[in-house]
Chain A
Amino acid sequence: DQQVKQNSPSLSVQEGRISILNCDYTNSMFDYFLWYKKYPAEGPTFLISISSIKDKNEDGRFTVFLNKSAKHLSLHIVPSQPGDSAVYFCAASAGGAGSYQLTFGKGTKLSVIP
Chain B
Amino acid sequence: EAGVTQFPSHSVIEKGQTVTLRCDPISGHDNLYWYRRVMGKEIKFLLHFVKESKQDESGMPNNRFLAERTGGTYSTLKVQPAELEDSGVYFCASSQERGRNTGELFFGEGSRLTVL
Contact = CB atoms under 8 A, between A and B. Distances in A.
Interface of A: 2, 4, 32, 34, 36, 41-46, 49, 89, 91, 93, 96-107
B107 A44 contact: yes
A46 B59 contact: no
A99 B48 CA distance: 10
A106 B41 contact: yes
A98 B98 CA distance: 5
Contacts of B93: 43
Contacts of B48: 100-101
Contacts of A49: 102-104
A105 B103 CA distance: 17
Contacts of A97: 99, 101-103
B42 A4 contact: yes
Query: Majority SS of interface residues in chain A?
Result: loop
Given A97-B102, A101-B56, A43 B45 contact: no
Given A44-B43, A44-B91, A89-B43, A102 B105 contact: yes
Given A43-B4, A100-B31, A101-B48, A106 B42 contact: yes
B110 interface: yes
A46 B106 contact: yes
A41 B45 contact: no
Interface in B80-116: 91, 93, 95, 98-99, 101-110
B33 interface: yes
Nearest to A98: B98
B98 A100 contact: yes
Given A89-B43, A105-B42, A42 B103 contact: no
